[in-house]
Amino acid sequence: MIDKIGKGQYMEEELSNDSSFYNSDTDPAVKKMDKEKRKSAFPTSTLGELCKIEKGETGIASATPGKYPLVNTSADRKSCSSYQFNTAAVCIPLVSSTGHGKKTLNYVHYQEGKFALGTILAAVIPRNPKVLSAAYLHRYLQFFKDKKIVPLMKGAANVSLAIKDIAGIKITVPPMREQISFVELFNKINISCRDLQDEFSNQSSYISSLRQAILQEAIEGKLTEKWRKQNPDLISGENHASKWLEKIRSKKEQMIKENKIKKEKPQPPISENEIPFNLPKGWVWCRVGGISLHSLGKMLDRSKNKGTHQKYLRNLNVRWFDFDLSDLLEMRFQTNEYEKCTARKGDLLICEGGYPGRAAIWNSDYAIYYQKAIHRVRFLEEEINKFFLYFLYLSKMTGYLDKYLTGSGIKHFTGQELHRFVLPLPSLLELRIIIKKIDSFLAAVNQLEKQTTEMKECSQLFMRSVMREAFER
């Protein structure tokens, strides 16, 4: 019977012959109860009273693969050559899913038949399957795990769960017919939920592809192809991007002469294998280092840092196109470090490590400090900032950025690689048109993404409401 309950099936004769079975559907007193009274009609018991609780005996890493499923902490089953149980059971991990002092539990498992159980899990097995269905118990504990199981976890670093604490968990036990009805309802909802999640996943994928296609068309000059044909004079002669590039470079040379910045080594010519696509007429390739000033922030060193405490940006605070300022940390900065270690309005901040390449433009009116793991890029023509940000994001999506990342394990976007990074450059007028088009198209895509996210959240809320209603009916 347990197997059939687990699959949402039910054999009428197996329960109708049991004199202890309570049929709430035929009891006129229960029918007249309102929702709260009906809820109180269901008894509450502890898992220790209703179930046997046994710790797993199989070492997950050392288990010999075989024909029996091996339940472990992850969603997927491993296999084992021997089995420990031959029944239906709810398997609860005894350790935190994330560790590091955090109380979390990703999964409560259901398993039936012959199976092995890892040593860091416990099997909860109903003593009387006609009183408590393992399938119902699994759905109940999975739904209430964050409320009834996670708070019982203890430990500072290695957070774990004791079997005696599992035994003390109280659950509501409705009549078996209601348990079976609930499992059937859960299975139907679960199928619908999976279908919805698949659809939302497909929509997210489409949105990501659409965003990439827009940026690809824009950065390669295809969105402004018609404009260039209609305005040939605006992309040639003094309006050619090469003329704008010369002015930018002259501006940098002037800053060197005035000792505002140090003289740099000449940059090598851009080779063919560095160019990811062919440029349209009126455009040129250039290196980021030739048209900008960039530097890393301050190293976090509590033993050496002096000055007053100031809030600063670190990698975690830099998101794509925006900043998360909810958890800014502080370190000491001296007055003479203000110019070198702060970003002002219009500066582009790029992650050097952790999330190499992730970037956003600082648009606040006040300056903010930043640490050494972040590049501050200040283009000599500020309007290039946003164009480069879009190109950087596209480079991340297409994998082009990977050519500039260093390190065999943990990747970094070093200052040297940023300096030689190759950027397509249109004329200033065309750049402005491109930015305007990208902003407009991406605003529509972002709105579509927001609607999809809201629909996903609504579907999840609806599913949870249906489940809660089923448990509390």
Taking 90 as the threshold, does the pLDDT of residue 53 lie above it? yes
Taking 50 as the threshold, does the pLDDT of residue 204 lie above it? yes
Taking 50 as the threshold, does the pLDDT of residue 261 lie above it? yes
Residue 2 CA to residue 54 CA, distance in Å, equals 19
Residue 57 CA to residue 3 CA, distance in Å, equals 23
Cβ density class 164-200: b for 16+ within 10 Å, e for less? ebbbebebebbbbbbbbbbbbbbbebeeebeebeeeb
pLDDT band at residue 291 under the 50/70/90 scheme: very high
**Tens of pLDDT, residues 221-235:** 999 999 999 999 999
What's the residue count for the chain?
473
pLDDT band at residue 143 under the 50/70/90 scheme: confident
Q: Average model confidence (pLDDT) for the chain?
A: 87
DSSP string, 279-297: PPTT-EEEEGGGSEEEEE-
Cβ density class 381-412: b for 16+ within 10 Å, e for less? beebbbbbbbbbbbbbeeebbeebeeeeeebb
pLDDT band at residue 190 under the 50/70/90 scheme: confident
For range 128-155, the mean pLDDT: 92
pLDDT score recorded for residue 205: 87
Estimate the crossing angle of helix 428-472 against helix 134-143, to 10 degrees.
Answer: 130
Residue with tokens 């000059």: 221
Contact 328, 311 (CB under 8 A): yes
pLDDT score recorded for residue 473: 54
pTM comes to 0.68
**Tens of pLDDT, residues 349-383:** 999 988 999 999 999 999 999 999 999 999 999 99
Estimate the crossing angle of helix 428-472 against helix 384-398, to 10 degrees.
Answer: 50
Percent of the chain with pLDDT over 90: 66
Cβ density class 212-248: b for 16+ within 10 Å, e for less? eebbebbbbbebbeebbeebeebbeeebbbeebbeeb
Residue 276 CA to residue 180 CA, distance in Å, equals 60
What is the CB neighbour count within 10 angstroms for residue 464? 11
Taking 60 as the threshold, does the pLDDT of residue 15 lie above it? no
Angle ∠(320,323,325) on CA atoms, nearest 5: 155
Residue 140 CA to residue 127 CA, distance in Å, equals 17
Half-sphere exposure of 446 (CA within 13 A, CB side): 7
